[in-house]
Chains A and B, each alone.
Chain A
Amino acid sequence: MKTSSGGAGGGRPSSSSAPTYSWAPTTSVSASGKRIHREMVELNNDPPPHCSAGPKGDNLYHWIATIIGPPGTAYQGGIFFLDIIFPSDYPFNPPQVVFKTRIYHCNVGTDGHVSLGMLKDGWSPALTITKVLTAIRSLLTNPDPYNAVVPGIAHLYLENKAKHDLVAGEWTARFAK
């Protein structure tokens, strides 16, 4: 579900208030904007399997992404939408990734925030959205109950995986299809 990307790099954070700014070059974008644009191009050229991402509107710093539930898991067949918000000093700070589709997962909070080391202290500027999406997808395959944000789901996952999968499958059918 790519929103109209079309190279519309409209996200220029620099303000243009003074009248003399009209002479300022319009081609220069901030370093973060450039990097995000480049990631967008690379994502379009070589999309990761079962994932897609692109700017939501004309704001380069606000993306929407989809992950297709990996087959063989409780999330199979579901299409999960995520919001990605890039900080202005990206890539030196991690992007904020939020599940917009409800998901029964011990590492995804009720508000949709993903608890993933990569998106917190484990962030590195060499990581890209492609890698983040791949990591989230592998988190769907292998939940990490020991670093859970929803302890109840983590407990169920550890004690009765069959039941956990059943509930997760119900949620997937209800919210993600």
Chain B
Amino acid sequence: MVSEDQKRSPRNQKYPATEGNGQSQNLNDAVFSPRFKSAAAMAGWDEEALLLASLVVEDTPDRDFKHKKRSVLNSKTPPTNSRRKRRAQSSPESIRVAVLDLDEEDTPRKDSGKKTKEKKATVNEESKEGGKESGVAALPCIDKLRDELSCAICLEICFEPSTTPCGHSFCKKCLRSAADKCGKKCPKCRQLIGNGRSCTVNTVLWNTIQLLFPQEVEARKAAGAINSRQQSKCLSPEAAFYNNLRNGESTTTRGGVSTRRSSGRAAAITDQEARRLQGVRSRRGITPATQTEDAAIALRLQREEFMQAFRGTQEQHHSSRSSSVDLARENLRAMASRAMSLRIRDRRF
């Protein structure tokens, strides 16, 4: 067959170059399949690099081999191994030429082979390879995967999926609130679900999702952080105040680039502020600053800075506005002191 010859050809050209180490070659015959070796030859890896690679991937399932092979077939740079790269660069020119010749006729055939292999593989394996490889968007079945891997409750990609005994997966949080509010039944098939099982994350699925949809997962993580803050807001007015401050902190830092430019005067003011607060604390005999208080102060510093910057830009055009900024600052100060006194009162009772 033509394809067989094509596959062998790089090896034939390669072996004369590496004939010196026949021993390792024998060893390789036992370790690697001919297909893998031909692919490796195409990439210009010599026997030593192959052996080294075999040591590295020895204990991993063969999906890694597949991955490596495929990344070679796609004529990308081999996985980030500086040594391999160096070898590939230093390999004789004749091999390079052979690779180029092969690529034209051979890649379409191998691509189709790859596709059938992918179909055979389970969804998990497939998706993992997809994530590791080039773009997730390159996967033709990404839309179906998105449907499959989304939670039926929130309709988004499962976040920390938890699998019921009946085999359905939902976000851990979604499943827990469903069990709380709608009874301990699977939302999909209404089978009874146990209590303990619903709290464990299906790690394989979760890792798969993280590999496949990194952006969605990141967005969800960020949203989760904000939500948890907002939920804790409702605890008490005092907590709400500090949480508010912290919420503000997260947003003001976004505009931090412009704030950085503000003069050192703001810093001086805020330093004073901090010291004043410290003084207040010590005068009233309050226990040392807690984390929330520190965060609040840090935020105030930032906010002052922001105000300063804001005023700096506004003053050039509308000097009248500065009074309103002052007003806002006074308001802030008043609020802070009110919160402090609230806190103190709480402590006393």
CB distance from B205 to the nearest CB of A (A): 17
Which of B149-157, B207-215, B317-325 touches A? B149-157
Interface size on B, residues (CB 8 A): 27
Residue in B187, B227, B251 whose CB lies within 8 Å of A23 = B251
Contact of A124 with B247 at beta-carbon distance under 8 Å, contacts A39-B155, A91-B153 already known = no
Asked whether any CB of chain A lies closer than 8 Å to the CB of B230, the reply is: yes
Which bucket holds chain A's interface residue count?
20 to 34
Q: Separation in Å of the B153 CB from the closest CB of chain A?
A: 5
CB distance from B46 to the nearest CB of A (A): 53
Are A124 and B250 touching (Cβ within 8 A)? Answer: no
Shortest distance between the CB of B163 and any CB in chain A (Å): 14
Residues of A within 8 A of B182 (CB): 92, 123-125
Q: Is the CB of A34 within 8 A of B248?
A: no
Q: Does B297 contact A (CB under 8 A)?
A: no
List, in ascending order, chain A residues with CB within 8 A of B226's CB: 25, 28
Stretch among B15-23, B173-181, B263-271 lining the A interface? B173-181
In-complex Cβ contact of B153 among A20, A123, A125 (8 A): A125
- Check A23 against B248 for contact (C-beta < 8 Å): yes
Residue of B nearest to A29 (CB): B223
Cβ A18 vs Cβ B250 within 8 A: no
A15-26, CB under 8 A of B: which get 1 and which 0? Answer: 000111101110
Interface residue? A134 (CB, 8 A):
no
Q: Is the interface of A mostly helix, strand, loop or mixed?
A: loop
A18 contact set on B, CB distance < 8 A: 244
CB contact under 8 A between A92 and B177, given known A28-B223, A38-B155, A125-B153: yes
* Known contacts A124-B185, A126-B188; A24 and B152 CB within 8 A of each other: no
Within the assembled complex, what's the spacing in Å between the Cα atoms of A18 and B247?
13
B190 interface residue per 8 A CB criterion: yes
Q: Is B252 an interface residue (CB 8 A)?
A: yes
Q: Which of A32-51 contact B (CB under 8 A)?
A: 34-35, 38-39, 42
Any A CB within 8 A of the CB of B137: no
Q: Is B53 an interface residue (CB 8 A)?
A: no
How many whole Å from B276's CB to the nearest CB in chain A? 20
Please give, as numbers and ranges, the residues of chain B lying within 8 Å of A125 by CB-CB distance. Answer: 152-153, 174, 178, 182, 187
Q: List B contacts of A92 (CB < 8 A).
A: 177-178, 181-182
- Cβ contact of A20, chosen from B178, B181, B245, cutoff 8 A: B245
> What are 17 A-B pairs with beta-carbon distances under 8 A?
A18-B244, A20-B245, A23-B244, A23-B247, A23-B251, A23-B252, A24-B230, A24-B248, A25-B250, A25-B251, A28-B223, A34-B156, A35-B155, A38-B155, A39-B155, A125-B152, A125-B174
Interfacial residues, chain A to chain B (CB-CB below 8 A) = 14, 18-21, 23-25, 28, 31, 34-35, 38-39, 42, 89, 91-93, 123-126, 128
